[in-house]
Amino acid sequence: MSQSYNRGLVEDFGRWKEFSAGMWAWIFHKFTGWVLIGYLFTHIAVLSTSIDGAQGKTTMVGGEELNVYTATLQGLEGLFLIRLLEVGLLAVAVFHILNGLRLLMVDLGVGLEAQDKSFYASLILTGAITVASVPTFLTGVTI
Amino acid sequence: MSTQQAEPESQEAPDDPAMNGAESPAADEQTGGGMVDDHAEKRAELEGETVHIKVFRYDPEVEGKQEPRFDDFHVPFEKGMTVLDAVMYARDEYDSSLTFRHSCRQAVCGSDAFFVNGKQRLGCKTQISDLEQPVRIEPLPHQEVVKDLVVDMDHFYDQMHTVEPYFQDEDTPATEDLEEQRQTPENREKIKMSSRCIWCGACMSSCNIAAGDNEYLGPAAINKAYKFAMDDREDEQIKEHRLRILEQEHGVWRCQTQFSCTEVCPKDIPLTEHIQELKREAVKKNLKFW
Ligand code: HEM
Ligand code: SF4
Ligand code: FES
Q: Residues 212 to 231 of B: which have CB under 8 A from any A CB?
A: 214
Give B22-31 pLDDT, tens digit per residue: 444 444 444 4
Asked whether residue B290 is domain-assigned, the answer is no
Alpha carbon B115 to chain centroid distance?
10
Euclidean distance between CA atoms B231 and B30, whole angstroms: 42
Give A136: exposed, middle or buried? Use CB within 10 Å, 0-12, 13-18, 19+: exposed
My answer on whether B142 and B213 are in the same domain is no
8 A C-beta contact, residue B126 and residue B83: yes
- Put simply, the answer to whether B144 touches A4 (Cβ < 8 Å) is yes
Q: Residues 94 to 113 of A: which have CB under 8 A from any B CB?
A: 103, 106-109, 112-113
- pLDDT score for A97: 98
- Put simply, the answer to whether B276 touches A107 (Cβ < 8 Å) is yes
Euclidean distance between CA atoms A141 and B157, whole angstroms: 62
% residues pLDDT > 70 (chain A)? 89
- Residue B204 Cα to ligand 3 midpoint, Å, equals 17
- pLDDT score for B8: 43
- pLDDT score for B32: 41
- Put simply, the answer to whether A7 touches B141 (Cβ < 8 Å) is yes
Asked whether residue B47 is domain-assigned, the answer is yes
Mutate to test the interface with A, among B143, B157, B253, B257 (most CBs of A within 10 A): B257
Query: Residue B5 — φ and ψ, nearest 5°?
Result: -100, 130
My answer on whether B91 and B161 are in the same domain is no
My answer on whether B33 and B118 are in the same domain is yes
Our mutation pick for probing the ligand 2 site, out of B112, B267, B275, counting the most ligand atoms within 8 A of Cβ, is B267
Give A101-112 pLDDT, tens digit per residue: 999 999 999 999
Asked whether residue B1 is domain-assigned, the answer is no
- Residue B134 Cα to ligand 3 midpoint, Å, equals 22
Cβ(B82) to ligand 3 under 6 A? Answer: no
Give B142-193 pLDDT, tens digit per residue: 989 999 999 999 999 999 999 999 998 877 788 888 888 899 999 999 999 9
Angle A79-A84-A89 from CA coordinates, rounded to 5° = 120
Mutate to test the interface with B, among A1, A9, A103, A120 (most CBs of B within 10 A): A1
- pLDDT score for A6: 59
My answer on whether B128 and B101 are in the same domain is yes
Asked whether residue B48 is domain-assigned, the answer is yes
Give B10: exposed, middle or buried? Use CB within 10 Å, 0-12, 13-18, 19+: exposed
Q: What is the CATH number of the domain that holds B254?
A: 1.10.1060.10
My answer on whether B201 and B263 are in the same domain is yes
8 A C-beta contact, residue A53 and residue A70: yes
Going by C-beta distance under 8 Å and a sequence separation of 6 or more, which residues neighbour residue B216? B159, B207, B209, B210, B250, B254
Cβ(B85) to ligand 3 under 6 A? Answer: no
My answer on whether B143 and B188 are in the same domain is no
- pLDDT score for B43: 62
- Give me the DSSP letters along A63-131: TEEEEHHHHHHHHHHT-HHHHHHHHHHHHHHHHHHHHHHHHHHHHHT-SGGGHHHHHHHHHHHHHHHHH
Euclidean distance between CA atoms B205 and A124, whole angstroms: 31
Going by C-beta distance under 8 Å and a sequence separation of 6 or more, which residues neighbour residue B208? A12, A23, A26, B256, B258, B260
My answer on whether B115 and B221 are in the same domain is no
- Put simply, the answer to whether A20 touches B208 (Cβ < 8 Å) is no
- Residue B85 Cα to ligand 2 midpoint, Å, equals 21
Give B237-283 pLDDT, tens digit per residue: 999 999 999 999 899 999 999 999 999 999 999 999 999 999 999 99
Alpha carbon B271 to chain centroid distance?
13
Alpha carbon B121 to chain centroid distance?
6
My answer on whether B90 and B102 are in the same domain is yes
* Structural domain total, chain B: 2
Nearest partner of A73 among A64, A82, A65, A81, judged by Cα: A82
My answer on whether B35 and B108 are in the same domain is yes
- pLDDT score for B42: 64
Computed over every residue of chain B, the mean pLDDT equals: 86
* Prediction ipTM score: 0.82
Cβ(A40) to ligand 1 under 6 A? Answer: yes
Asked whether residue B44 is domain-assigned, the answer is yes
Asked whether residue B42 is domain-assigned, the answer is yes
My answer on whether B146 and B158 are in the same domain is no
Asked whether residue B254 is domain-assigned, the answer is yes
Residue B95 domain boundaries: 17-150
Query: Does the pLDDT value for residue B18 go beyond 70?
Result: no
Euclidean distance between CA atoms B128 and B130, whole angstroms: 5
Give B93: exposed, middle or buried? Use CB within 10 Å, 0-12, 13-18, 19+: middle
Cβ(B202) to ligand 2 under 6 A? Answer: yes
Going by C-beta distance under 8 Å and a sequence separation of 6 or more, which residues neighbour residue B54? B70, B71, B72, B134, B135, B136, B137
Asked whether residue B94 is domain-assigned, the answer is yes
My answer on whether B165 and B146 are in the same domain is no
Instruction: Give the domains, in start order, of chain A with CATH numbers.
Output: 19-137 (1.20.1300.10)
Q: What is the CATH number of the domain that holds B99?
A: 3.10.20.30
Going A11 to A13 to A15 to A20, the CA torsion angle's sign is positive
Cβ(B199) to ligand 2 under 6 A? Answer: yes
Euclidean distance between CA atoms B79 and B81, whole angstroms: 6
Which of the ligands is closest to the CA of residue B125?
A: 3
My answer on whether B57 and B43 are in the same domain is yes
8 A C-beta contact, residue A123 and residue A131: no
3 state SS of B53: strand
Which of B117, B155, B260 lies at the smallest CB-CB distance from A23?
B260
- pLDDT score for B175: 86
Which of A18, A26, A109 lies at the smallest CB-CB distance from B280?
A109
3 state SS of B127: strand
